Amino acid sequence: MIIITGSVTGTPETIDELLAAGLEHVRRSREEPGCISHAVHRDAENPLRLVFFERWESAEAVRAHFAVPASAQFVRTATALAASPPTLELFTATAASIS
């Protein structure tokens, strides 16, 4: 499984448009093959910051997601509305047993 986290901070003038774009992106992405979950949350300490959490079945599913034109458009929109550059981190999760 691949886990992706990201965040973007808007301004008082852009946060509503940024949130709307984020929700549209999340809802569309949930329908893509290999998407286990995809969500956007508003930071409780900084309401201008949105945090994204995604889980994907495989690296192939992530590559396909990033190849979708609407995904690239979301990145362009978020970057244009952001107060600072958005962040994105990818993690590969492995199964582990806890004793």
Give me the sheet containing 49-56, strands edge to edge: 35-42, 49-56, 2-9, 87-92
- Per-residue pLDDT band for 96 (boundaries 50, 70, 90) equals confident
Residue 97 pLDDT > 90: no
Q: How far apart are CA 11 and CA 54, in angstroms?
A: 24
Instruction: Give the pLDDT of residue 23.
Output: 98
What domains are defined for the chain? 2-92 (3.30.70.100)
Q: How far apart are CA 66 and CA 73, in angstroms?
A: 10
In tens, the pLDDT along 17-75 reads: 999 999 999 999 999 999 999 999 999 999 999 999 999 999 999 999 999 999 999 99
Q: How far apart are CA 63 and CA 96, in angstroms?
A: 25
